[in-house]
Amino acid sequence: MTRKIRVLVAKPGLDGHDRGAKVVAAALRDAGMEVVYTGLHQTPEMVVAAALQEDVDAIGLSVHSGAHLTLFRKVLALMKEKGLDDVLLTGGGIIPEKDRATLAAEGVGRLFGPGTPLKELAAYIAAETAVRRPR
């Protein structure tokens, strides 16, 4: 038996559009990953606490509310505070290109928009987590 890739999929904030997060969670499962789905309305503190307990390799946030800059930054700061240094923070939603670049410069992984092939998403997480935390 081996350690599988574990990914936390969460919807932080108040927007209730969880279809995307569910589709992504199912796609990552189909790619052979173990996906912890936490559901709607998570605060950044809840997301990071769950990621710590679940010992995940990656956190995927779905944000459609426009609050992505605030939410990703807050989660990233809490991850640093809790010592989750080898965990990938990625995600997706309606996020303008320039904000993606801003967040990437601050240490957030790639962010994906509508229409991203699900295989691309899984391949990115597999490749990136292998570098950060070799299995």
Which residues make up the interface to another protein (CB under 8 A)? 1-4, 6, 25-26, 28-39, 41-42, 45-46, 49-50, 52-55, 82-83
- Considering the complex, state which of residue 53 and residue 101 has its C-beta at the smaller distance from another protein: 53
Tokens 């309305």 — which residue? Answer: 41
Pick from 23, 30, 25: nearest CA to 7: 25
Q: How far is the CB of 56 from another protein (least distance, A)?
A: 9
Q: CB–CB of 87/117 below 8 Å?
A: no
Q: How far is the CB of 135 from another protein (least distance, A)?
A: 9
Q: How far is the CB of 21 from another protein (least distance, A)?
A: 11
- Considering the complex, state which of residue 32 and residue 107 has its C-beta at the smaller distance from another protein: 32
SS3 85: coil
